[in-house]
A and B are shown apart, each in its own frame.
Chain A
Amino acid sequence: MSTQVLEASPTAPPERPARRRPRNRLGPPWLFVAPALLCYGAIVLYPSASGVLYAFTDWSGLGDWSFVGLRNFDSLLHDDRALGALRNTLLLTVAIVVVQNGIGLLLALGVHARIKSRMLLRAVFFAPVVVSPVMVAFLWKYVYNPAPNAGLNGVLGAVGLGSLRQDWLGDPSLALWSVAAMVVWQHAGYSMVIFLAGLEGISKDVREAATIDGAGPVKRFRYVTWPLLAPATTINVMLSTIGGLKIFDQVFAATSGGPGYATETLSTVLYKEAFVFGRYGYSTAVALVLALFVAAVSLVQIRYLRAREDQT
């Protein structure tokens, strides 16, 4: 984001009285931003500020409350379930960021080439992005059906890999990764189109020059394409990180955090604390931690990835 602020218009000429400030008649009046401010204030700022306040109270969501200082955050540090959810959220995010963008990049390279089916394949790989995550989760619940002849297990059996059959969502050590795979399936096409836009922005001359200089496909990718894809990589990594940290719908619909707490994430914990256990104050403390994580990670990534962009 650019931090450039233009200088305000110069001060009034001396012959005018000092209190009549020069009005910039060419700038749009405040009325233009008033509806946006009003709506944003009422729907986002005011409720979020209340939420931050409640994070320091014992409010149940209804009735009276009192301030409890940092007690909610202290409980969080001793709550195995919330800590497990934090760990799951981070693992899930790392898995999604790495695999989704890795696959997205390979797909983009594939459909950027001169193959005849490239337009069709772009549409195919992108289509799940526009479908509701809840519906995708229900579809994948069937793919992960534990029955030996259904879903993914059925396919494994049919191609002679029956020994790899699993209880994909029922096995606590596997469930989190199964959820990650489902998210990657839905969003790899999103990473693909962003990388594709990056690839289309690289001029042919640069790559042809590298070819003439004797660089093979691997070297061309390593020294020419990859560095020039830095802006696309920044956007992809940021989008998938924020999406991963905030993930809710898919987990809620596919496992609702189970088996046990194996796929519980920060979003599902704060949902349950608020709506199932009625500990609203505590749930907003979890939400605040999530907000801080998202903000911190975005800032660090912007810095690091922008520095990398500047080097190239």
Chain B
Amino acid sequence: MNRYRPRTLALELLMVAAGVAFLFPVYALIVLSLKDAGQIASSPLGLPKPPTVDNYTEAWSTASLGSALLSSTLITVVSLVLLIAIGSCGAYFLARRATRLGYGLYILFLLGIVLPFQLGMIPLYNLFSKLELIGTYQSLILFYTGIQLPFTIFLYTGFIRALPADYATAALVDGASHFQAYTRIVFPLLRPITGTVLILNAVFIWNDFFTPLLYLGGSAHETIPVRIFAFVGQYVSDYGLVFAGLVLGAIPILLVFLLLQRYVIKGFASGLKG
């Protein structure tokens, strides 16, 4: 049943053809980014001859992608640390407090998965501007920590409920504090779900566009999607330059994806077993 038969070969050819067709936009992206304006006008889809990297050097400096990369990294990393710390502790409480109040709180957190963020968008903006946080990293870090908590708590609580309580209980009986039992015993056991939480939140935060545009647009702290948006708006008809910017903007996350492929795919595939 598992041998490579002529039918398997036919399937292989079919799937490879589908893959090639699927990659057409990426082909266009790369080919155009390597051409000058004259080549794009005369033969947009042919191979570039000779290829030029001028678009890349120009896009890197005019879009100031270096500083955007720094902002995106900082915001993503700090938000993830806070989400994992606050979310896993909160979920530990919710999973182990089997009272009506504990369950009610859990449902209150789940409500956040359904609410569209636009509902509170302007009150939150006003709150941040009263606190003079607009244009700072803190505003977005706080925003992501709050907005992604429901999903994070949902994933952690499900996982912790399936975990036996005995280990932590044994530590408590032996005289450990709750905090010690949590950090030394429980948290290490959460590693698989922490991986999933990390990957799903990282991809969301890294790529999020609208809130960073609202909070950081025009400031020195713009993230990659916001920089790219402004850059494309500025050079809209210069496809070579715009596409070089898109390639540069997508490379960091694609690189991480290729390096951690197995974990990323597993994280997405297992993330939502409700």
Contact of B90 (CB < 8 Å), options: A37, A190, A239, A267: A37
Cβ of A175 < 8 Å from any Cβ of B? no
Set of chain B residues within 8 Å of A42, measured between Cβ atoms = 127, 142, 146
Task: Give the docked Cα–Cα distance between A127 and B258 (Å).
Answer: 8
Set of chain B residues within 8 Å of A173, measured between Cβ atoms = none
Closest CB in chain B relative to A198 CB, distance in Å = 9
The contact string, 1 if C-beta is below 8 Å from chain B, for chain A 98-134, is 0000000001001101111110111111110111111
> Given A122-B265, A130-B253, A135–B225 Cβ distance below 8 Å?
yes
Count chain B CB atoms within 10 A of each CB in A37, A131, A238 and give the residue with the most. Answer: A131
A40–B29 CB distance below 8 A: no
Task: Give the docked Cα–Cα distance between A231 and B114 (Å).
Answer: 20
Closest CB in chain A relative to B115 CB, distance in Å = 5
B221-274 residues with Cβ-Cβ distance < 8 A to A are 224-225, 228-229, 232, 239, 242-243, 246, 249-250, 253-254, 256-258, 261, 264-265, 268-270, 272-274
Stretch of B10-18, B47-55, B56-64, B188-196 at the chain-chain interface? B10-18
Set of chain B residues within 8 Å of A46, measured between Cβ atoms = 120, 123, 127
B94–A33 CB distance below 8 A: yes
Cβ of B87 < 8 Å from any Cβ of A? yes
Closest CB in chain B relative to A83 CB, distance in Å = 19
B11–A37 CB distance below 8 A: no
Contact of A132 (CB < 8 Å), options: B109, B242, B250: B250
Closest CB in chain A relative to B98 CB, distance in Å = 4
A121–B122 CB distance below 8 A: no
A44–B172 CB distance below 8 A: no
Set of chain B residues within 8 Å of A280, measured between Cβ atoms = 122
The contact string, 1 if C-beta is below 8 Å from chain B, for chain A 217-245, is 00000000000000100010011001000
> Given A32-B90, A36-B89, A130-B203, A113–B8 Cβ distance below 8 Å?
yes
Set of chain B residues within 8 Å of A259, measured between Cβ atoms = none
A131–B254 CB distance below 8 A: yes
Cβ of A35 < 8 Å from any Cβ of B? yes
Set of chain A residues within 8 Å of B16, measured between Cβ atoms = 117, 121
Cβ of B96 < 8 Å from any Cβ of A? yes
Can you pick out 28 interface pairs between chain A and chain B where the beta carbons lie within 8 Å of each other? A26-B169, A26-B172, A27-B93, A32-B89, A32-B182, A35-B86, A39-B149, A40-B146, A44-B112, A44-B115, A44-B150, A47-B119, A51-B120, A51-B121, A61-B122, A110-B14, A115-B12, A130-B256, A131-B207, A135-B225, A138-B242, A139-B29, A190-B268, A194-B272, A267-B116, A274-B121, A283-B118, A290-B116
* Extra pairs beyond A39-B149, A117-B19, A134-B225 (15, CB < 8 Å): A36-B109, A39-B86, A47-B127, A113-B8, A121-B16, A131-B207, A134-B207, A139-B28, A142-B25, A274-B121, A274-B122, A287-B119, A291-B114, A291-B115, A302-B274
Give residues in A with beta carbon < 8 Å to B. Answer: 1-2, 5-8, 25-30, 32-33, 35-37, 39-40, 42-52, 54, 61, 107, 110-111, 113-118, 120-127, 129-135, 138-140, 142-143, 147, 149-151, 154-155, 158, 185, 190, 193-194, 196-197, 208, 211, 231, 235, 238-239, 242, 246, 248-249, 252-253, 267, 270-271, 274, 280, 283-284, 287-288, 290-291, 294-295, 298, 302
